[in-house]
């Protein structure tokens, strides 16, 4: 009788009881706050989208929200000019950004995974001190490294854009930028992955050791498959940072059209007098497509990866 009663659906009287109403009303402030924050975050993106369909005269004289009063002024000429190969060289810049972002993401994630595993599960002299020094590198500003690293590239290795392009080897002009992004991303990569690796159950490693599994077998067969959320989150962070980077790319490869990424190309669209700002809005919105695809394709791992290592399992 008790089981049958429990199997019956909840009655409307129970559903709308004072306790049920109080529980749901207490969540409304949270829902309103989340909706408000989401709307606030979407306003700049909506403004950029609307501005990308407005002519230069409209952008220079009024705000984007005034465009809805006269929708007939919307035009696709901004996108037409941006996608024109002879106007902005956007296609080459788009390709350059891919050639920079993919290796500059794979390198720190791969090296960071190999380095994080010893910090998490292997004992060696000075492990805690090295890890503490690694965490301290997160607080070092990138700007402090530009002069010494660039001087080493130019004076000792003779890695200039012209010299590397003159070799004719594909991809070689981006090597300095790949190494720079890998070095800048490694401290965070190792820190995030080491915390996630520490949260893995120790029973797995003990069982693998009893079965005779070696270090590499444990790493590739146990650690990496269980660390997909952390790896995916790290890929999102690193890829978005490299894709949207302007300063590091400008320092190490300059503004040469054949190797400059999309961000450098966009920065050159607007003159000192503000001309070309209409093209900048269209090109900027176009450049958001790839980051959105990367984020949406890996978003199911994002929250789990962000919380990596926050609770010891």
Per-residue pLDDT of 54-85, as tens digits, reads: 888 887 788 888 888 887 788 888 888 887 75
| Residue 179 scores a pLDDT above 70 | yes
Q: pLDDT band at 53, cuts 50/70/90?
A: confident
Lookup: tokens for 83 = 């996608």
Rounded to the nearest 10 degrees, the angle between the axes of helix 289-306 and helix 277-287 is: 50
Integer Cα distance of 26 and 255 in angstroms:
55
Sign of CA dihedral 51, 55, 56, 62: negative
The DSSP output letter for 211 is T
State the pLDDT at residue 312.
Answer: 47
User: Selecting from 3.40.50.300, 1.10.3720.10, 3.30.499.10, 3.40.50.12780, what CATH number does the domain 85-306 have?
Assistant: 1.10.3720.10
Integer Cα distance of 152 and 149 in angstroms:
5
- Contact of 196 with 230, CB cutoff 8 Å: yes
CATH code 1.10.3720.10 region(s) in the chain = 85-306
State the pLDDT at residue 182.
Answer: 94
Percent of the chain predicted with pLDDT > 90: 30
Per-residue pLDDT of 101-152, as tens digits, reads: 999 999 999 999 999 999 998 888 998 999 999 989 988 898 999 999 999 9
| Residue 47 scores a pLDDT above 90 | no
């Amino acid at each position: 009788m008790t089981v049958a009663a429990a199997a019956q659906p909840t009655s409307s009287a129970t559903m709308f009881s004072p306790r049920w109403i109080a529980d749901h009303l207490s969540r409304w402030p949270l829902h309103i706050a989340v909706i408000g924050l989401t709307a606030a975050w979407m306003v700049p993106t909506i403004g950029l989208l609307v501005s990308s369909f407005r002519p230069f005269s409209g952008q220079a004289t009024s705000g984007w929200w005034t465009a809805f009063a006269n929708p007939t002024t919307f035009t696709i000429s901004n996108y037409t000019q941006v996608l024109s190969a002879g106007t902005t060289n956007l296609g080459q810049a788009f390709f350059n950004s891919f050639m920079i972002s993919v290796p500059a993401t794979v390198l720190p994630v791969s090296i960071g995974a190999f380095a994080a595993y010893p910090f998490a599960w292997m004992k060696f002299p000075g492990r805690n001190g090295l890890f503490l020094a690694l965490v301290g590198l997160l607080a070092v500003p990138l700007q402090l490294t530009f002069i010494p690293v660039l001087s080493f590239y130019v004076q000792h290795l003779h890695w200039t854009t012209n010299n590397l392009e003159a070799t004719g080897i594909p991809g070689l002009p981006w090597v300095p930028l790949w190494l720079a992004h890998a070095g800048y991303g490694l401290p965070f990569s190792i820190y995030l992955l080491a915390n996630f690796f520490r949260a893995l159950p120790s029973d797995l490693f003990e069982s693998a050791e009893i079965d005779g599994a070696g270090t590499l077998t444990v790493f590739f067969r146990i650690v990496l498959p269980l660390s997909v959320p952390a790896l995916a989150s790290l890929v999102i962070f690193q890829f978005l940072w490299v894709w949207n980077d302007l300063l590091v790319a400008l320092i190490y490869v300059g503004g040469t059209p054949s190797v400059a990424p999309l961000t450098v190309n966009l920065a050159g669209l607007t003159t000192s007098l503000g001309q070309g700002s209409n093209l900048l809005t269209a090109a900027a919105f176009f450049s958001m497509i790839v980051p959105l695809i990367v984020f949406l394709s890996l978003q199911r791992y994002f929250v789990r990866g962000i919380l990596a290592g926050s609770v010891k399992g």
